[in-house]
Structure 1
Amino acid sequence: MNRTLLSLVVPFYNEQESIAHFFPRVTAILDGLDGVDFEIVCVNDGSRDGTYQALVAAARGDARIRVIDLTRNFGKEAALTAGLDEAKGDIVIPFDADLQDPPELIPQMVAKWREGFDVVVARRVDRRSDTFMKRKSALLFYRFHNKLADVKIPENVGDFRLMSREVIEALKHLPESRRFMKGLFAWVGFRTAMVDYVREARSAGETSFSAWKLWNFALEGLTSFSTAPLRIWFYLGSTIALLSFAFACEIIIKTLVKGVAVPGYASLLVSILFMGGVQLIGIGIIGEYVGRIYIESKRRPVYLIRSCFQLDRTEAPSQDGCV
């Protein structure tokens, strides 16, 4: 019987403390899968600590571990893209190094795939390990995004999912440089199943996602899959223009018919400041989309690889990938 190759794709950024916990727990689960061989594709996303050295040390002891070292920190979305491009598996699972997503769920995901599903997403039904603000902001993001965007993202579903080789090949055909992977995963579609789990606390270390990074991430997701903010600003501008016209008519009538004096500088100042603020916000929204066009027009690669390491290969620089 042909054995299935599973690729676990894991971005690492300053995760030196987590590595000692990561490999023993993950390999114990993957070793127990019937009829499945596996590889762990570790992408070092420009870590500033000893993450790369720790990954290479782990790879020297296990030929199933591959280490992809990027030239600098390109961000999680780029690192995840690099891992998906390098993965050889019949099925591929993106995974976080902090172990908040339990690897014990992988056998259930593989079972769902064997039932005929191309994608098996993991949904977080309990996020008490996250802070109150992170839970609430995530809830608001999913609901706001799904109301405005054409591509709906399942609530409380992250990158942790199983995808077949067909899904991975479809993702490789998406050319954008600024990548919002949750949206791209949803955009390609395919037959999808869902399994629920409870999100755990980090195994070690601290998250690198600040409130500012999360805000920018949410903005990236919204502008990647929706032009609704531009459309909203058109309707807002039209409404303000109509109200202004109505107010001008009222002033003319009061002045010519009733002889009422034109209101003074206070109302005029408030109107000018209000309209100035609205215009600046509108320009900012337009600028966000123009900036995306500008970046995409350069056609820069999403990431660059410095070197690849695997036990049965020599470590060598690579510009075109490691597979």
Structure 2
Amino acid sequence: MRVTQPNADTSTEGAPTDAPRATRAAKVGEQKLISILVPMYNEEQMIDLFFDRMEEALRGLDCRFEFICVNDGSRDRTHEMLLKRAAQDARIVVINLTRNFGKEAALTAALDFSSGDAVIPIDADLQDPPDLIAQFIAKWREGYDVVYGVRRQRLADTFGKRTTAGAFYGLFNQLSDVKIPADAGDYRLMDRSVVENIKRLPERNRFMKGLFAWVGGRSTAIEFARQTRAAGESKWNYWRLWNFALEGITSFSTAPLKIWSYVGLGVAVIGCLFAAYLMVLVVVRGVDVPGYASIMVAVLVLGGLQLLSLGLIGEYIGRVYMETKQRPAYLVADVTGLKVRPLRQRAPLPENSAHEG
């Protein structure tokens, strides 16, 4: 694994700085608390493997740790197995959501309930190596606000998935003022100041990679090879990835809406030129121009463009509609092992079902 420190001087994550603001060396006898955030959906095959690997990776680190595990409406024994683990390990907090709200909402819940000096989101499938946590903490102690992992190799991904992922990052960075480093996922360390800024953001439709980049902070990257999934099956298919990409672009850019103004102008200019050409043929050369074929082509092309533009506008209107409802991003069924109630949360805790340790 190689540490990458770009040398641009800016406050955005897309172009991290080469020097941290100040070091975070712990005082004598003081141990920082790190919150490990783990959204889970149907991960019963991974739970024991995950915690065993985490135990190995965290052994010997001069920090205290808590695990904020969010059960995102799993249909298998994920919640039951998490409760069993929490009974054996006081560091584990289990947040059980009322249904499946999606990974972004589950990660939002984990952020809301975390209390560490820094947080590290990580997937339970172990594709992102836990061994990298030691390097994250070392760079954070040098003074960086954000230390994010960049996938140098994507061993588990097909050629199609690698290609579409690269196309998405390229398109997103072209259309949006917020730049996301290519091949950077959710796996990162964020200082508490960054977490509090993220928690202040009110939107319900949440594209976390974009939000992480939007809040900024002094950042640096560490490259790693993304591994194959240790057990179980991926929850992501191409349709879900497409919707995820659409969510990201429409959440951080209005460029697709502006593009249609230029498309309309271009079509109008082409239409005028074509009309002038037909007039020349009829008036000057006396050519009898059949109109049926050209009319059909014009109707189909313009009709297709109009439907496409209406669909795009509908995506934005739909997101505005959902935001105006002000529904919480998630709802909590019960909580196990929580030591301190969060100062800011998006949904009230059910008093009759929360189990605080």
TM range (shorter): over 0.9
Moved over 2 A (4+): 315-323
Please, which runs of 5 or more residues in structure 2 have no aligned partner?
A: 1-28, 341-348
2:255 is equivalent to residue 262 of structure 1: no
**Partner SS for 2:211:** helix
1:312 Cα shift? 7.6
The letter for the 1-side match of 2:59 is: D
Partners of 2:288 and 2:121 in 1: CA distance: 68
CA deviation string 1:46-82 (max 9, x = no partner): 0000000010001110000110000000000000000
The letter for the 1-side match of 2:127 is: Q
User: Match for residue 175 of structure 1?
Assistant: 202
**Partner SS for 1:98:** coil
The letter for the 2-side match of 1:21 is: L
Of the candidates 198, 201, 223, which is equivalent to residue 196 of structure 1? 223
**Partner SS for 1:300:** coil
Of the candidates 65, 69, 74, which is equivalent to residue 96 of structure 2? 69
Query: Bigger CA drift: 304-313 or 175-184?
Result: 304-313
User: Are 1:141 and 1:218, in contact at CA under 8 Å, matched by a contact in 2?
Assistant: yes
User: Match for residue 4 of structure 1?
Assistant: 32
User: Are 1:62 and 1:311, in contact at CA under 8 Å, matched by a contact in 2?
Assistant: no
User: Match for residue 308 of structure 1?
Assistant: 335
1:322 Cα shift? 7.5
CA RMSD of aligned residues (A): 1.9
1:234 Cα shift? 1.1
**Partner SS for 1:154:** coil
Partners of 1:234 and 1:98 in 2: CA distance: 44
The letter for the 2-side match of 1:218 is: A
2:255 is equivalent to residue 233 of structure 1: no
Partners of 2:122 and 2:351 in 1: CA distance: 25
Name the CA shift for 1:321/1:262 in 2 (closer, same or farther; >3 Å): farther
Name the CA shift for 1:321/1:77 in 2 (closer, same or farther; >3 Å): farther
User: Are 1:305 and 1:321, in contact at CA under 8 Å, matched by a contact in 2?
Assistant: no
Name the CA shift for 1:311/1:9 in 2 (closer, same or farther; >3 Å): closer
User: Match for residue 212 of structure 1?
Assistant: 239
CA deviation string 1:225-276 (max 9, x = no partner): 1111111111111100011011112212322222222333112111111110
User: Match for residue 58 of structure 1?
Assistant: 85
CA deviation string 1:67-98 (max 9, x = no partner): 00000000000000000000010010001000
Please, which runs of 5 or more residues in structure 1 have no aligned partner?
A: none
**Partner SS for 1:17:** coil
Partners of 2:305 and 2:294 in 1: CA distance: 16
2:57 is equivalent to residue 29 of structure 1: yes
2:156 is equivalent to residue 129 of structure 1: yes
2:68 is equivalent to residue 41 of structure 1: yes
The letter for the 1-side match of 2:40 is: F
User: Are 1:42 and 1:66, in contact at CA under 8 Å, matched by a contact in 2?
Assistant: yes
User: Are 1:171 and 1:188, in contact at CA under 8 Å, matched by a contact in 2?
Assistant: yes
Number of residue equivalences: 321
User: Match for residue 162 of structure 1?
Assistant: 189
User: Are 2:335 and 2:354, in contact at CA under 8 Å, matched by a contact in 1?
Assistant: no
Partners of 2:336 and 2:204 in 1: CA distance: 26
User: Are 1:86 and 1:321, in contact at CA under 8 Å, matched by a contact in 2?
Assistant: no
1:29 Cα shift? 1.7
1:317 Cα shift? 4.9
Of the candidates 117, 130, 146, which is equivalent to residue 90 of structure 1? 117
User: Match for residue 272 of structure 1?
Assistant: 299
Query: Bigger CA drift: 123-132 or 57-66?
Result: 123-132
TM normalised by structure 2 equals: 0.87
